[in-house]
Structure 1
Amino acid sequence: MIDYLTNLVTRICDRSEQLNNGQTTSWQALREAEQLANHAYIPLLYQYIETEPDKDKRRAAGFIITQLSRNTNEPEVIRFLMDRLKTEQDADMITGIQQDLERGLTIPGYINLEPLLNNTLSLNNNIRRSALLALRGTHNPAVEDWALSLLKRTVNEYDVYYIALLLHKVGTRKSLPSLKRLLEYHRQDVKSLAFATIADIEKEKEAMFYTRCLLRGHLKFEAMEAIYKYADENAIQAVTARITELLSKRRSSARMTIETVKNGFTDLMLGMEFLSRFKAAKADVKKTFSWITEKRADYLLPEEREWVQRNLIPNS
């Protein structure tokens, strides 16, 4: 059993460019590790990581044990990795362990988060930011308080982004004052995260705020997404105005990449999805869709045209 694991580690560490069926040895070994589910491998890997002097091999073993923890639902691996953060001295290894924690199981509430919290104060950028990402995997309420305290004293704009990313996962109403201040931050990605987090916390309560933002042209995509998720028919006029604005001129296909989020929608598609909820009852919505299909079909991006074909054109 240990021979197999040692061989797998060696293959993961293989840096040759030799291809096997179009894939490198290392790539194939990583995909193999992702499928492992033998719980008996875990204690063997504990011992291997604690005694192996080569950091690349320890790193590979850490990747394997993280996959095993996910596939066997073994949270004690997280405690082991946390303990390793206290003993590892190499910055790359610490960063790698924190990346493993990020991609692993949710961190149980009984796990001591002190190693990760301490590492958010590291002078090393990679250690600091990978620790913030790893903390997204816990529901411990202390993490939100910690993130808010960091935000008050952080001047590094990249760190502010990672803190905003953490708050997007763990933030509650307690974070709202800080998030609202971030709406005026100079970085667009920070403002976008703050807006999305506020919307996911407040939901329907702030539907009028999302509508006002859309009408004022402030964080338009984020406002449209929040309306799509949480607003009612009171937002129809604002959404219609935004759709009219978007289709007032032709856009390049490259815009799709800029406007697309994880759900694969542009803000125009989100707007049309929102309006489609009311097309059976609202004459003005029907009129807007007729205008799109009859007057502005050539102005749609390819993905938007497909949406129209699926949802608005009969028998398409």
Structure 2
Amino acid sequence: MNSELRNLLDRMTVKETVTNSDQSQSWHAHREAERLVDNTYIEELDVLLSVSKSKDERRAAYFILGAIGANTGAVRCAEILLKRVDFEKDKYVLSSLLDSFSKIDKPADISLDAIFRLLDEPRWLVRHSAIRSLRNTNSPAAEDYILAHLLKTDSPFDVTYCHSTLNQIGSLRSIPQISKSVGSRKRDVKISAEAAIRSIQMRNDKSSNEL
């Protein structure tokens, strides 16, 4: 493995006891990772993930893939994260993977079936990350699945996360379902619904003006 990548992973996963982020080697390493644009790391991380027994190391690798994918648009990062979804059983590691996946632009032809299955995941940490992970996608199916989940869930947290995702990927057909939450007594649900509707309408107006 590239020595610079190995060094970064070691710093991201170092065990330390500190009182603030300025003193944390790991915190600074994560901020460094957020700026990465080196695509040569991608395949090395893929190999690492296939053999690593360390949860902390895999979480760090997922974080780096998410950063590189977001910064460079490399679809390969999304592909690697997707194929790892069914392998990760630990809820914290899986949540980290999904959070990294959410940052990457996904083309319409990439299969999101592994993510869709997690929308019914009983562990709320994983389920919420799965909802968020469908941001940055052009897949009409993603909107369909989010709307279906929004229709059946009774969790205000799930509803809020669905609104947040539809805020970014939703079309006009999402508005009737989202509008049902505008009168909610729960502040986050109401505010997220109003914001999503505004965002969808602005996106549609912009698209119409460009025609």
TM-score bracket, normalised by the shorter chain, equals 0.7 to 0.9
| Contact 2:73–2:105 (CA under 8 A) maintained in structure 1 | no
Alignment of 1:44-123 (within 5 A): 44-103=44-103, 105-123=104-122
d(CA) in 2 for partners of 1:181 and 1:96? 31
Change (3 A) 1:198 1:7: closer
Do residues 177 (structure 1) and 157 (structure 2) align?
Answer: no
Counterpart AA for 2:31: R
Alignment of 1:213-292 (within 5 A): none
Alignment of 1:156-235 (within 5 A): 156-202=155-201
* Partner residue, 1:37: 37
For each residue in 1:20-72, what CA deviation from the matched residue of structure 2 results, as whole angstroms up to 9, or x when unmatched? x9432112222222333322221111101110101101111121222222333
SS of structure 1 residue aligned to 2:111: coil
d(CA) in 2 for partners of 1:145 and 1:35? 33
1:144 Cα offset (Å): 1.6
d(CA) in 2 for partners of 1:201 and 1:60? 34
1:175 Cα offset (Å): 1.7
| Contact 1:148–1:178 (CA under 8 A) maintained in structure 2 | yes
1:18 Cα offset (Å): 6.0
SS of structure 1 residue aligned to 2:38: coil
Counterpart AA for 2:34: E
* Partner residue, 1:276: none
| Contact 2:160–2:193 (CA under 8 A) maintained in structure 1 | no
d(CA) in 1 for partners of 2:170 and 2:72? 29
d(CA) in 2 for partners of 1:106 and 1:120? 20
Larger RCO of the pair (alpha carbons < 8 Å, separation 6+): 2
Equivalenced residue count is: 202
* Partner residue, 1:23: 23
Indicate the RMSD between aligned Cα atoms, in angstroms: 2.2
Greater shift in the superposed pair: 160-169 or 30-39: 30-39
* Partner residue, 1:139: 138
d(CA) in 2 for partners of 1:201 and 1:13? 39
Counterpart AA for 2:110: I
| Contact 1:18–1:25 (CA under 8 A) maintained in structure 2 | no
* Partner residue, 1:306: none
TM-score (norm 1): 0.59
SS of structure 2 residue aligned to 1:87: coil
Change (3 A) 1:10 1:201: closer
d(CA) in 1 for partners of 2:36 and 2:195? 36
d(CA) in 2 for partners of 1:73 and 1:177? 33
**Structure 2 stretches lacking a partner, 5+ long:** 203-211
d(CA) in 2 for partners of 1:149 and 1:73? 29
Q: Whose radius of gyration is greater, 1 or 2?
A: 1
Percent pairwise identity: 31
SS of structure 2 residue aligned to 1:14: coil
Change (3 A) 1:151 1:4: same
